[in-house]
Amino acid sequence: MRTIALRDALREALHEEMARDDSVFVIGEDVIAHGGPYTVTRGIADNWPDRIFETPIAEAGIVGLGVGAALAGMRPVIEIMYVDFITCAMDEVVNQAAKMRYMTGGQASVPLVIRLPCGPARLVAAQHSQIMESWFMHVPGLQVVAPSTPYDAKGLMKTAIRSPDPVAFFEYKALYVSEGAVPEEDYVIPFGKADTKREGEDATVVAIGGMVPRALEAGVALEDEGYDIEVVDPRTLAPLDMETICQSVRRTGRAVVCEMDSSFAGAGAEIAAALAEQCFHDLRAPVLRVGSPHVPMPFAEELVAATVPDAGAICAAVRKVMA
């Protein structure tokens, strides 16, 4: 199977869905020029000039228009340049997109995808590096997707575009250039299906988005110490596949939950709490979380390294649950 980068997998998904369904369109800042800062929307303007809209810098307007177009039966795919900027449109996400089906007693459908490039990549500090998955997980009516591989990114993006409900699609900027095998033929990945990225017997490492490669790196490093870890990637955080995660933890008896975002009230806290509720008697050690401390993203390299967890932090947590 051919190997492509994650951003190319996303671009393929967009092109294929645009070709498949006339109601799909793209809207966002700079999405025509360069195909956006990450080139994900490149080429769409050449093929479908009437279905891509380059906007003023007006996130509330962009998402608001997306909600309305979706209500009218279109399938907008919005690019928000940095997830940090979605805070400028939280009313549109939370009060409009997410609640519309419920408030109208099921009359409304909001098939809206909001692409949210996130996480540290270059040194762009606190307002261009957040992740924020748990903000969206906490809102009923939203689906939250965080792929870690090109294969998952493409399959989940196609599902997101076909979904009748709004999707917050987290794209870890640091993973855009990471490569992986992606089939040429059409495929989709259902939401709510975790994927075991590495099988192991001794401890379960649940890793979200950008932490998946770090967990796999930790898996290799820990082999030398005699620990065989399993790495489970939830792929979607809402819906969350606790069944697969619990099955793994019941077998290994140990769990480390890893996220790149602040672990305080984060996505990992939900997973850890659910493990405590559902797997308490199978656990041989407390569930540990690995994540950033509760500080904004700093600027200097040393400071970033001091906050964002790496494979070493995962190894340390695994040693602790194995002790």
Shortest distance, position 165 Cβ to other proteins, whole Å: 5
Instruction: Return d(Cα 157, Cα 290) in angstroms, integer.
Output: 27
Buried (b) or exposed (e) across 135-165, using 16+ Cβ within 10 A?
Answer: bbbebebbbbbbbbbbbbbbbbbbbbbebeb
Residues 6+ apart with CB under 8 A from 205: 215, 218, 219, 229, 230, 231, 232, 255, 256, 257, 258, 314, 318
* Pick 189 or 287: Cβ nearer other proteins: 189
Q: What is the CA radius of gyration of the chain?
A: 19
Shortest distance, position 53 Cβ to other proteins, whole Å: 7
Shortest distance, position 63 Cβ to other proteins, whole Å: 7
* Pick 140 or 293: Cβ nearer other proteins: 140
Query: Where on the chain is the footprint of other proteins (CB under 8 A)?
Result: 25, 50-51, 53, 55-56, 58, 60-61, 63-74, 76, 91-92, 95-96, 100-109, 140-141, 143, 158-159, 162-165, 186-191
The count of other CB atoms within 10 Å of the CB of residue 235 is 28
* Pick 143 or 148: Cβ nearer other proteins: 143
Query: Rounded to 5 degrees, what are φ and ψ at 288?
Result: -110, 150
Shortest distance, position 103 Cβ to other proteins, whole Å: 4
* Pick 115 or 173: Cβ nearer other proteins: 115
Of 15, 128, 138, 281, the active-site residue reads: 128
Active site residue 128: yes
Active site residues: 128
